[in-house]
Amino acid sequence: MSKQTLGNKSVLYPYPVTILGANVNGKANFMALGFVGIVNTNPGMIALGVNRNHHTNKGIFENKTFSINISSQDMLEVTDYVGLTSGEKIDKSEIFDVFYGKVKTAPMIKDCPLTIECKVIKTLDLGGADDIIIGEIIESYCDEEFLTKGNPDIEKMKPAVFSMYENRYFGIGEYLGKGWSMGKEYKSEK
């Protein structure tokens, strides 16, 4: 074994490939987002790390709402595009067909298989480059074709994952086994 040290790098791989949406001055804006994860259940909460210079943040602070849209493998080009361009300079409001849900001000992308609307419950300034934003999930929306027994089915949704320092997108791999179940067969070999 020859472990190399990498230092303080954001290498919690793989990143999910999502699109963050917010209304800035009444106009939908979207950006690619990998710093995102579930941080609570009952109620479900999502935490984001969003560089404080981004345009999207203005809308999140303005309305206290945002959306997370799970991208799919066939949406990678447009996902990358909204990660390369800033709403500060380019109007991204017409790129996607958008719908609104319960919180009214979080634009969601119709073509994404799964979308989640959130209400901001806390923002943190930890002294780094990002605004840390925690939102409570108010509602989530999934097209019927991506559901199995009422739950989002990732084999049907075909989401992608991302690695930041090499900037590479990948699909998800094959099904490997059942959670909260495979471990029952485990026997230590030590």
Residues at the site binding ligand FMN, with contacts judged by CB under 6 A: 17, 29, 31-35, 49-51, 54-56, 80, 83-88, 162
Rank residues 33 and 78 by Cβ distance to ligand FMN and give the closer one. 33
- Round to whole Å and give the CA distance between 170 and 5: 25
In the complex, what is the shortest distance from the CB of residue 28 to ligand FMN, in angstroms, rounded to a whole number? 11
Q: Which is nearer to ligand FMN, 147 or 161 (CB)?
A: 161
Residue closest to ligand FMN, measured at CB? 83
CB distance 52 to 88 below 8 Å: no
Intra-chain end-to-end CA distance of the chain, in Å? 18
Tell the smallest beta-carbon distance from residue 3 to ligand FMN (Å). Answer: 27
Q: What is the DSSP string of 9-25?
A: ----SSEE-EEEEEEET
| Closer residue to ligand FMN (CB): 47 or 147 | 47
**What are the beta bridge partners of residue 134?**
47, 122
When the beta carbons of 102 and 168 are compared against ligand FMN, the nearer one is: 168
- Strand pairing class (27-33; 168-171): unpaired
CB 25 within 8 A of CB 105: no
State the nearest-atom distance from the C-beta of 148 to ligand FMN, in Å.
27
Q: Which is nearer to ligand FMN, 56 or 69 (CB)?
A: 56
Radius of gyration of the chain (CA): 18
At its nearest, how many Å lie between ligand FMN and the CB of residue 111?
17
Q: Which candidate, 123, 136, 107, places its Cα nearest to that of 19?
A: 107
* Nearest CA among 131, 166, 162, 138 for reference residue 49: 131
CB of 26 to ligand FMN, least distance (A): 15
